């Protein structure tokens, strides 16, 4: 039952209000302590990650306001047995509902889009609306405001629609979409947990499931709000035209993302080279793919680019990659014997594979010496090629020094002109 501010003043001034406040405070403190204990136990038993229910510390998730509201509701029901009239309890219950709405929206948005900047703006908007609704409900102004909103009407699709209907539709859209996002985030976390070889298949299943849940949630929310979906046919047609013309690039990126995941031409963990940028595929989103270089830099590549342009995938068929280097030795060196010695030296270098075995080839006759071309194979290109090439070069240099093989270098003699010569 909604009450005016004068009635609230009378309730708060009634006898036993301090006793009611002490009991209410004990209930809230017990619920907070229980949520905190549950969060600590969960953190100690498994890998800890902020969840929608518990948050990071137990009391900053959706569980605390939910349990607190249930506790205050039970207290309100049992207060006549204690000889008390509910006053503070009726004041706190709508505030706890507002806190629940804020915590739920905030946690679900952070779980679904952890790096989205617009999510913070949505959180602030929901906070203002939730606290404002609580104030209107507590002060008894809600029926008056709602009646004014229902009086503001216009026609949409041949049917009268009021501002109250739109707000109600928006409320249900938020509720259903939050539930859909919560379910999709939980299912995606379950699907991707511990996945190794079939990570791409699980990723496409998670993305498709999220899209289906969001679409179904939107349709259910509009139906619950009483909005005729046929009235949105004109808007749907305009949206289709907009996607066909103005948003064709965006639509192409989304379709390309599903094609990449379905064909498995690129998989999370593959070493690729795209448009001169080389790195490991860190994540495949529905619109773009994140490629992380070995130096920590990340490149966000639109999925359409991965479909329409050339992509070098070092890990698609075989993770083994060949690496080469060159060295010159002086003329007169026993090249055949040296080639066999260098092959044995390369096999002692870590990361160099024994099969395919490294090879040393006589590449050509340079002006200063004989040029040897050395090829070896590695199976972990994600760890980079510079370090293993450096290790191989050091092994070659050490071997040449041990066997007294000279590395020639150009000799350039500068002749100085006599003084006065033309």
Residue range 248-313 in CATH 3.40.190.10: no
In contact, 58 and 36? CB cutoff 8 Å: yes
Q: CA triplet 222, 223, 226: central angle to 5 degrees? A: 90
For the chain, give the mean pLDDT.
Answer: 75
pLDDT digits (tens, 9 = 90+) for 65-88: 888 888 888 888 887 777 777 667
pLDDT confidence tier of residue 49, bands split at 50, 70 and 90: very low
Q: CA triplet 232, 233, 234: central angle to 5 degrees? A: 90
In contact, 383 and 319? CB cutoff 8 Å: no
As given in the structure block, the two tokens for residue 407 are 């590395």
Whether 398 shows a pLDDT value over 50: the answer reads yes
Average pLDDT over residues 262-274: 80
pTM of the model: 0.42
Residue 18 three-state SS = helix
**Residue 115 falls in which region: left (phi positive, over 0), alpha (psi -120 to 50) or beta:** alpha
Per-residue model confidence (pLDDT) at position 117: 61
> What whole-number distance in Å separates Cα of residue 82 and Cα of residue 421?
122
Per-residue model confidence (pLDDT) at position 394: 92
Closest CA to 231 of 305, 126, 159, 316: 159
**Which residues, listed in sequence order, are joined to residue 376 by a DSSP beta bridge?**
323
What Rg do the C-alpha atoms of the chain give, in angstroms? Answer: 35
Residue range 321-402 in CATH 3.30.70.100: yes
Per DSSP, the chain holds a count of helices (H) and strands (E) of 13, 10
Domain-wise residue ranges, the chain: 1-151, 248-313, 321-402
């Amino acid at each position: 039952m909604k009450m005016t501010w004068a009635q609230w003043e009378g309730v708060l001034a009634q006898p036993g209000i301090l006793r009611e406040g002490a009991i209410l405070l004990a209930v809230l403190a017990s619920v907070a302590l229980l949520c905190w204990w549950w969060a600590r136990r969960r953190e100690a038993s498994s890998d800890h990650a902020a969840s929608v229910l518990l948050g990071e510390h137990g009391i900053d998730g959706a569980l605390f306001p939910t349990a607190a509201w249930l506790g205050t509701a039970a207290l309100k029901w049992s207060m006549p047995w204690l000889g008390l009239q509910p006053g503070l309890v009726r004041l706190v219950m709508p505030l706890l509902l507002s806190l629940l709405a804020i915590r739920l929206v905030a946690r679900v948005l952070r779980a679904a889009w952890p790096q989205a900047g617009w999510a913070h703006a949505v959180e602030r908007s929901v906070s203002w609306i939730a606290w404002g609704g609580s104030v209107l409900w507590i002060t008894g102004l809600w029926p008056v405001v709602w009646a004014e909103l229902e009086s503001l009407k216009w026609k949409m699709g041949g049917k009268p629609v009021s501002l109250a209907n739109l707000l109600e539709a928006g409320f249900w859209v938020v509720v259903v979409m939050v539930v859909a996002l919560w379910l999709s985030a939980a299912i995606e976390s379950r699907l991707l947990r511990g996945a190794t070889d079939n990570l791409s298949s699980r990723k496409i299943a998670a993305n498709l499931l999220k899209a289906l849940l969001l679409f179904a949630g939107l349709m259910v929310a509009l139906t619950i709000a009483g909005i005729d979906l046929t009235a949105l046919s004109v808007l749907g047609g305009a949206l289709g035209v907009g996607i066909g013309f103005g948003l064709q690039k965006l639509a192409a990126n989304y379709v390309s993302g599903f094609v990449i995941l379905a064909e498995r031409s690129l998989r999370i963990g593959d070493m690729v080279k795209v448009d001169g940028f080389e790195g490991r595929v860190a994540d495949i989103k529905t619109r773009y793919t994140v490629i992380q270089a070995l130096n920590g830099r990340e490149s966000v590549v639109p999925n359409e680019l991965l479909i329409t342009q050339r992509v070098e995938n070092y890990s698609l068929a075989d993770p083994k990659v060949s690496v080469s280097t060159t060295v010159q030795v002086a003329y007169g060196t026993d090249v055949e014997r040296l080639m066999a010695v260098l092959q044995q030296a390369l096999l002692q270098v870590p990361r160099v594979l024994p099969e395919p075995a490294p090879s040393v080839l006589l590449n050509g006759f340079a002006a200063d010496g004989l040029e040897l071309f050395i090829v070896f194979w590695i199976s972990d290109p994600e760890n980079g090629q510079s370090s293993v090439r450096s290790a191989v070069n050091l092994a070659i240099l050490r071997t040449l020094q041990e066997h007294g093989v000279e590395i020639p270098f150009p000799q350039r003699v500068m002749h100085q002109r006599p003084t006065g010569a033309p």
